[in-house]
Amino acid sequence: MRKLWLAAGIVLLLVMGTVLLTGCGRKEPVQKTVMVMDTVVTLTAVGEKADAAVRESIVRLQEIDGMASLHGENSDLKKLADAAGNGAWIPLHPEVFHMLEVSQEYSRISDGAWDVTAGPLVELWGIGTDKAKVPTETELAQAKAKTGWQKLELDPETKCARLREPGMSLDLGGIAKGFAADEVRKIYEQYGIRDGLINLGASSIYALGKNTKGGSWRVGIRHPRSEDKESRLGVVELSNAALSTSGDYERFFEQAGVRYHHILDPRTGRPANSGAVSDTIVVDGSLPDAGMISDLLTTAVFVLGPEEGKAFLGKLPTEVRGMICDRRLQLRTAHGFDEMLQQVQQDFSLAE
């Protein structure tokens, strides 16, 4: 009889253990890393349908890549550039149209610090390519004449766009990854994924719910002046929010001791010389387009620089938090970013 009780007890314990593991315990995350949009993308998802969600997301990223780059048959940007100046309206994918609508709004409020018509300047400098060079003054003036966000026209009725002058072209390099992060988040939602991390390089990270251990996701922010790529400025805990970082260390070349990097000031046509070396923006997931906005804002705020960038952020909704690191490694923050920042490395201090 005692043996029977013992056996029943063991069975009960086993059943309880299984219930705990499958019912209350956390499922194994699905994680995939792919190279898309010129970036190492890592998608992590937890949930019954995580595998399908991640697979569909990768297909979606490849689609966005096709739409948002200047090359490829399906490229709206190529069609727009080819028709620039001839007056024709070009029908756009609704996704591209949406990116441009949001983009124009931020060009307006940043007074042109953010400008997707910087295409000819991006092309001229070629930073990050093997054709990178310092252009002549004439080349700069010519390229600058082909830029200007007011010369990009959008028609919300027909979702068409046109570029007013010949030689104009768009560059979505500072916004497309953020948009893509938003799209992956929507796919995760459709598949009932509440916990996950969408990582499109430092440029765009979207954290959903909890990490695989049940805590907030912890995202390290790179030290902008350390040779060691693993060295951190600090760490931010993130849940249901998008985070982007831009810096002059990402893509640059040096000539005669000057660093020429990939964040251009549309007003001068040159790499922004604003005093910022990196900036990080966190946008709460309650705001629509959180990923896209965090991505484009890092570029805009970098161009504006530490002081102006901080003032600019201060005027945005409080769901937008940000930090700018200057050349002396002093940090300026907006809307309580300093409270989110942990494990600040000793090289950095908060500006007065």
By beta carbon distance, the residue nearest ligand ADP is 173
Amino acid, res. 258: V
* Binding status of residue 234 toward ligand ADP by CB under 6 A: no
Find the binding residues for ligand ADP in span 102-161 (CB under 6 A).
114-116, 118, 122
Burial 193-224 (b: 16+ CB within 10 A, else e): bebbbbbbbbbbbbbbbbbbeeebbebebbbb
* Binding status of residue 174 toward Mg ion by CB under 5 A: yes
* Binding status of residue 295 toward ligand ADP by CB under 6 A: yes
Find the binding residues for Mg ion in span 87-146 (CB under 5 A).
none
Which CB, 161 or 263, lies closer to ligand ADP? Answer: 263
For residues 68 and 181, the answer to whether their CB atoms sit within 8 Å is: no
For residues 194 and 75, the answer to whether their CB atoms sit within 8 Å is: no
Please indicate if the annotation marks 299 as binding a ligand: yes
Which CB, 126 or 209, lies closer to ligand ADP? Answer: 126
| One-character DSSP codes across 255-319 | ETTEEEES-EETTTTEE--SSEEEEEEEEETTSTTHHHHHHHHHHHHHHH-HHHHHHHHHTS-TT
Region near Mg ion per CB under 5 A, out of 6-14, 162-170, 258-266, 295-303: 295-303
CA distances from 183 to 15, 102, 217, 290 (A): 40, 15, 20, 11
Which CB, 54 or 304, lies closer to ligand ADP? Answer: 304
Q: Which of 65, 250, 279, 308 binds ligand ADP (CB under 6 A)?
A: 250
Tokens for 76, please give them: 């709206």
Which CB, 27 or 164, lies closer to ligand ADP? Answer: 164
* Binding status of residue 242 toward ligand ADP by CB under 6 A: no
Q: State the sign of the Cα–Cα–Cα–Cα dihedral 298, 279, 334, 234.
A: positive
DSSP bridge pairs for 270: 265
For residues 46 and 196, the answer to whether their CB atoms sit within 8 Å is: yes
* Binding status of residue 295 toward Mg ion by CB under 5 A: yes
Region near ligand ADP per CB under 6 A, out of 67-75, 261-269, 312-320, 327-335: 261-269
Which CB, 185 or 195, lies closer to ligand ADP? Answer: 185
Q: How far apart are CA 170 and CA 115, in angstroms?
A: 9
Region near Mg ion per CB under 5 A, out of 77-85, 107-115, 226-234, 241-249: 241-249
Contact pattern from residue 191 through residue 230 relative to Mg ion, giving x for each residue in contact according to CB under 5 A and a dash for the rest: ----------------------------------------
* Binding status of residue 294 toward Mg ion by CB under 5 A: no
Amino acid, res. 304: L
| Closest approach of ligand ADP to the CB of residue 13, in Å | 52
* Binding status of residue 245 toward Mg ion by CB under 5 A: no
* Binding status of residue 246 toward Mg ion by CB under 5 A: yes
Phi and psi torsions of 92, nearest 5°: -115, 155
Query: The tokens 């990080």 sit on which residue?
Result: 280
Please indicate if the annotation marks 174 as binding a ligand: yes
CA distances from 207 to 120, 184, 274 (A): 34, 11, 30
* Binding status of residue 277 toward ligand ADP by CB under 6 A: no
CB count in 10 Å sphere of residue 192: 11
Which CB, 174 or 224, lies closer to ligand ADP? Answer: 174
Please indicate if the annotation marks 268 as binding a ligand: no
Which CB, 211 or 298, lies closer to Mg ion? Answer: 298
Contact pattern from residue 171 through residue 190 relative to ligand ADP, giving x for each residue in contact according to CB under 6 A and a dash for the rest: x-xx----------------
Q: How far apart are CA 307 and CA 310, in angstroms?
A: 5
CA dihedral 276, 290, 220, 26 (to 10 degrees): 180
User: What does the binding site for Mg ion look like in residue numbers (CB under 5 A)?
Assistant: 174, 246, 295, 298-299
- Residues in the site for ligand ADP, rule: CB under 6 A? 114-116, 118, 122, 171, 173-174, 203, 246, 250-251, 262-264, 266, 295, 298-299, 303
